[in-house]
Homo-oligomer: A and B are copies of this chain.
Amino acid sequence: MNIAVVGVGLIGGSVGLAARSRLQATVRGLDVAGGERALAAGAVDRMAEDLPDALRDADAAFVCVPVGALAEVVRDVLAAAPAGCVVTDVGSTKRGVVRAIDDERFVGGHPLAGAEAAGVEHAREDLFEQAGWYLTPTATTSGILLQRLHRIITGLGARPVAVDADTHDRVMAAVSHLPHVIANVLVAQATSVLRGPPAEGSGRARGVPVIGPSFRDATRVAGAHPRLWREIYAANADALGEAIDAAVARLQEARAALAGGDVEALGAWQAAAGEDRRALLEAALAGGPLREVRLAVPNRPGVVAELALSLGRAGVNIADLALSPSPDGTTGEVALWVPAARAGEAAALCVPLALGPVRSGEDPE
């Protein structure tokens, strides 16, 4: 398998490392700089000279450039890519690129992985191990190419989940972009409290030992990668603005509860947060046995995407997905592996798209 990686930094380099070692893929990289470092890191088999060179005979292409440049680079990559090549990106916001591109070969993507240090020299073969990886297929997405991308991403060690771009950006505003904004706010506030008034001169932080572990954790992402994050903020400004409004409303509720002085109510609020966090983490860690769900679908673009999105919306993780077109090409057989406990629900969600019955494997083990 040939994989092109356009933009070989931390994420692109990790895709290359994992694809070479886990999928035995041949990886060609393309970057404006850093080719020698990418080769030294083992992230690519070779650096390409230009897009046509990078995309020649490629089965898949990963566009790993900053969010602000995504639409343009994805368009160029699609222009250079073969007809059967699936093209994806790894941007942290999805509406922009998904709206800009209308091509059955493109599937937006977003791995939930990263590191404090950028650059291909920090790339890791196991960066995506057990990480969530959002995919944003649309009504125009080719089922065969979506299936291939799904397989590649599980092969890299990640867990793909389909989601529509709007939901993706709203969820990311709540679970990633807002925490980044808040980390910056916490740092600014601590700095202003800890610095002496201007008259005291040095501007040095006072009260040296106040940086306890909870503050360090709460602000770990403060100020991360300004050149990347300014574009993420800008690309998701509307959803992030709404998330900030909601956070402000919640803070004002908490403030009212404090003013009310009801210790029992404060304890109940604290306990509810603990339970909600456990539920979120448990949902994210859910594993266990899988079961197969099998159905026939019309062989047209968007059908597999619609299936994947429908299960993604319900929180049903598709561990694997296989597609086999019928001999005459008009229909396709889809096999999905989903958590056994959700198989009945998954089968029911598949019914509206199925040609005929949806079968759920009795016991795959």
Contact = CB atoms under 8 A, between A and B. Distances in A.
Contacts of A182: 182, 186, 218, 247, 251
A134 B209 contact: yes
A254 interface: yes
Contact of A255 (B245, B261, B276): B245
Contacts of A193: 170-171, 174-175
B248 A248 contact: yes
A273 B184 contact: yes
A355 interface: no
A216 to B, nearest CB: 7
A317 to B, nearest CB: 5
Given A163-B207, A226-B271, A179 B234 contact: no
A212 B159 CA distance: 12
Most buried by B among A183, A189, A227: A189
Interface string A165-193: 00100111011101111111111111111
* Stoichiometry (number of copies): 2
Interface string A215-256: 111111111111101110110010011011111101110110
A286 interface: yes
A28 to B, nearest CB: 28
Interface of A: 68, 112-114, 131-134, 159, 161, 163, 167, 170-172, 174-176, 178-194, 196, 200, 204-227, 229-231, 233-234, 237, 240-241, 243-248, 250-252, 254-255, 258-259, 261, 263-264, 266-281, 283-284, 286, 312-315, 317
